[in-house]
Amino acid sequence: MFHVVCLAASFVAVTTVSAKEATKGPQLAFPPPLEKASTISAEELLTSAQKLLPKGAFLGPLLDARYTVIKHEWLEKKFVPFYRGAVETLKDVAQGGGEEGADCDDFCIFLRQMAGLAGIVGHTAGPAAAQVVVFQAKEFSGVGRTRERHAVGLFLTERGWFVLEPQNATELVALDHYANKRGIQYITFH
């Protein structure tokens, strides 16, 4: 509940502007309503996510009793294009972000929150969507080989697990084809 209140408050803070300000600056819209393929229990999601973890990696807690398995077509054709536009708006507002700001973890939190908001708008259980910390040993989706930790988005659809680079949303790839799959260090659904 705390996350929902924080998400709603942050969204209201970002989108609430006076009529005078509305003509001056960018605004964010609500994401398209989440379309579900099915529902999965927390225990089933935990078991599925644990199979993704290499030795020594961690999985964050699941706080809800059930989650929405995302309809792949919605993710690919509605949410990703929406999110790509939202990222460009956020980049314009962030203007580089300053030290340690507007980087991969910030964009990954934004991605997860927008997916969560899509669930609220769609009147579904929270999406089976996570933030993943990986060791970026290989280039992916326009982000070069950094040889350091990097955050990406992870989504469970009826077609399986998919990864999305949160800083540009240019590639949605099956986890099995994700270049840094073996570098997963941590997965958190909240």
Listed by start position, the domains of the chain span 2-188
Strands (E), the chain: 36-41, 58-59, 66-70, 129-135, 149-157, 160-164, 172-174, 184-188
pLDDT band for position 100 (cuts 50, 70, 90): low
Q: Answer yes or no: is pLDDT of 152 > 60.
A: yes
Q: Answer yes or no: is pLDDT of 6 > 50.
A: no
According to the 3-state scheme, what is the secondary structure of 8-41? HHHHHHHHCCCHHHHCCCCCCCCCCCCCEEEEEE
Three-state DSSP at 18 gives coil
Please give the span between the terminal C-alpha atoms of the chain, in angstroms, as a whole number: 11
Model confidence, pTM:
0.84
- Asked if residue 117 lies in contact with residue 4, where contact means CB atoms within 8 angstroms, the answer is no
- Position 171 scores a pLDDT of 92
- Position 26 scores a pLDDT of 78
Condensed to tens digits (0 to 9), the pLDDT of residues 31-53 reads 999 999 999 999 999 999 999 99
Condensed to tens digits (0 to 9), the pLDDT of residues 55-67 reads 999 999 899 999 9
- Position 145 scores a pLDDT of 86
Q: Answer yes or no: is pLDDT of 7 > 50.
A: no
- Position 36 scores a pLDDT of 97
The reply to whether CATH 3.30.465.10 applies to domain 2-188 is no
pLDDT band for position 95 (cuts 50, 70, 90): confident
Mean residue pLDDT of the chain comes to: 87
Q: Answer yes or no: is pLDDT of 12 > 80.
A: no
- Asked if residue 154 lies in contact with residue 105, where contact means CB atoms within 8 angstroms, the answer is no
- Position 18 scores a pLDDT of 44
The gap from C-alpha 133 to its chain's centroid, in whole angstroms, comes to: 12
Q: Answer yes or no: is pLDDT of 179 > 50.
A: yes
- Asked if residue 152 lies in contact with residue 132, where contact means CB atoms within 8 angstroms, the answer is yes
